[in-house]
Structure 1
């Protein structure tokens, strides 16, 4: 249903694309602004399924015409009468009398304004706009239309279709959130899935860990519960029933694997298993972004090696030797990490004896080089981040955090606190707007400033939008004119944005916004 609703967005917004022009020729101009009024009898089965969702009470919330409004740019895409682009409804509904005598329907805004300006003082005599003479009622509507168009000016940017129910542009994610608003429970449940699918491991490992989390890995216990008389004992140690927990945490293979990792990473086994071992616990073991990404790869390699060694015994009758098993774990960690360029220091002797130290040294080197280049290129360097999750009251909310450095590396501003948001993307955007307001408030915009964010969605929004202040109430009106002039928005990898990330997560737990300015406090 949500995926079908996206075709409505594409039909309305992608008017210049070839496929859309073909559909418009086949089904008429209604395809571009009112799919619900197209006759289903003349539609193909696929188009019927797309248009037919408006009859569903749930889907009608997504494709309601009140959800789609155009923001005027150069007027080359918007239908003057039929589209909603000004006032509180389409002009054909606001002025039905004028629409009934308009000489041309489905006229673009730029073309209508061109005709209107031919006789700006007396549009009544414009035969290109109206069919015949206008009645008294028409004249009243014409006067009201003249007031609307009096200060109407076209802009240089493109016309933009807005979806008023969520973050622009339209996304299936925001649709799902509209139909089923996230709760604390659903957020906790979805967290592990986002965690698994974001891991830097081969695709088949994603699927494997997905099965582990759902507890549907085809162990002997799983099969035995479905096939009567099946053997349920662990094929390796034969002392317990082979459940997912037994295989990955208690079996001799697991003892070998986690014992090796415990010694290599200098982590006590008891701390790894935490009395009640779980995938969430093991995949969120470290707070540092880079360290935890590498650790997730390590844990996945252990799980996968256990499963492959178990299958080798079940299907081939071969028991792997301990040292060979541990060598394979180490090999998989290095190979996977090298492929995704997460571990490019596998030949460093420190990595083999002190992996946490090797990661810290590697992180320090790349972090110092990254920020050193920023300091050399800009007068002020800003880092900002947003967070979304459960706050200290166990309710879903957003948090933001960030700081500003001068050329000497001294922090001139730190802020951290809660914001109103419905998803992580909104938190990131609010954090960016807050940082921009601080830059302007402190007068730094007269210098060369770079703001670094690890959210590509936020960066793309700022670079592609032509009227930020009208789209977002929290955006400073000056920002639009400063972007790429004195304020530059750039991407920073998440693992190099740890400080801002920590401030954002701390802000999520605060009751109010905290800010500190050098030599003073606010």
Structure 2
């Protein structure tokens, strides 16, 4: 539904979806648009209710559900049951997400089961043959409030021992505490749970690795002080999701892929925004690194943008972004209105747009708010 809206699809008409939903629903810093996957978001909201069942034992909500669904143990070990309510079934669907992020913070150690509760990063721990040791407090020397190193070496691997002794012990009065490991403060948040649940949405490992390498670039793009429409246009250009004539032909549209502006080359993203004579005349008016990059049809527009983004001067990327929008806008004006703007006019349109936007945003930041009159 969200994807249909984004690509302009109405009713039963068909529109080209230039990028998969998996890409659109990635975080912006990972090369997506940050659209929420509604199913995943619903799971994280349900996980919040499950977290309440773990951390709010005094609430009426907890007492009602414990009595009915897990009277003899905690929500961690709760089962769906034979006749669950719709709400309980929904909360249980989020249980794996909760368990994945759950960690016990050791206090006195009396409520943490050594072998079944998540209290080390490498859970579950391999159960030792030695019997009689069930809770974490049995691993602590009560006289010195320190780990019983000799016992640890008998029960655990060297790696596990190293992890255990790194845990700082407090007083016996400090209770064990459940924490959320995906946040430094240990408090469950819907946002952190959603990010954890959706971090594997990349369609393959290579794509995920590539997104990791360009994360800095996407962050820089979305932080630019330029109109949002320009940032979205640049995103589409860098993800090859603009409706160029070449792209339309590849999607099955019966169309001549040649550029209508020059009539010589295939209209790819790189051609129309960078290598076309009209685009070259516009870029010739720009200053800085843009004039030093290779003018070739074989260049990848995203690679060109990333190369320019590595510049220490943010103004260059701001100009690049607004000029990209202005060139594409001029291309559309020529195709759909039959009017061709002069390169100087295109450059001036981009410059004015950027200047006006930054003046307005600066004014809104420094202008004091006045109290409402009654």
TM-score of the aligned structures, taking structure 2 as reference length? 0.55
Change in 2 beyond 3 A, CA 1:257/1:305: same
How big is the shift at 1:330?
Answer: 0.7
Matched, 1:331 2:352: yes
CA deviation profile, 1:265-313 (whole Å, cap 9, x unmatched): 2446233659835324434536566x22x32221110110011111111
How big is the shift at 1:33?
Answer: 3.9
Q: Is the 8 A contact 1:220 1:243 kept in 2?
A: yes
More strand by share: 1
Counterpart among 211, 224, 229 of residue 236 in structure 2 = 211
How big is the shift at 1:34?
Answer: 3.2
Residue in 2 aligned with 1:153? 173
Q: Structure 2 CA distance, aligned partners of 1:260 and 1:230?
A: 32
Counterpart among 79, 99, 109 of residue 37 in structure 1 = 79
* Ranges in structure 2 where 5+ consecutive residues have no aligned partner: 1-38, 118-134, 146-170, 366-374
Q: Is the 8 A contact 1:248 1:303 kept in 2?
A: yes
Change in 2 beyond 3 A, CA 1:195/1:66: closer
Q: Is the 8 A contact 2:105 2:178 kept in 1?
A: yes
Q: Structure 2 CA distance, aligned partners of 1:22 and 1:88?
A: 22
Q: Structure 1 CA distance, aligned partners of 2:336 and 2:311?
A: 40
Q: Is the 8 A contact 1:247 1:254 kept in 2?
A: yes
Q: Structure 2 CA distance, aligned partners of 1:207 and 1:11?
A: 37
Residue in 1 aligned with 2:104? 69
Change in 2 beyond 3 A, CA 1:335/1:86: farther
Residue in 2 aligned with 1:391? none
Secondary structure at the aligned position of 2:285 is classed as: helix
Q: Structure 1 CA distance, aligned partners of 2:350 and 2:293?
A: 20
Counterpart among 66, 74, 89 of residue 28 in structure 1 = 66
What are the within-5 Å matches in structure 2 for residues 444-483 of structure 1?
A: none
Matched, 1:51 2:51: no
Counterpart among 285, 290, 295 of residue 260 in structure 1 = 285
CA deviation profile, 1:401-447 (whole Å, cap 9, x unmatched): xxxxxxxxxxxxxxxxxxxxxxxxxxxxxxxxxxxxxxxxxxxxxxx
Q: CA RMSD in A?
A: 4.8
Change in 2 beyond 3 A, CA 1:266/1:283: same
What are the within-5 Å matches in structure 2 for residues 230-269 of structure 1?
A: 230-261=255-286, 265-267=287-289, 269=291
Residue in 2 aligned with 1:162? 179
Q: Is the 8 A contact 1:167 1:174 kept in 2?
A: no
Matched, 1:309 2:296: no
Between the two proteins, the alignment pairs up a number of residues equal to 269
TM-score of the aligned structures, taking structure 1 as reference length? 0.41
Residue in 2 aligned with 1:86? 109
How big is the shift at 1:203?
Answer: 3.3
Higher relative contact order (CA 8 A, sep 6+): 2
Change in 2 beyond 3 A, CA 1:279/1:68: same
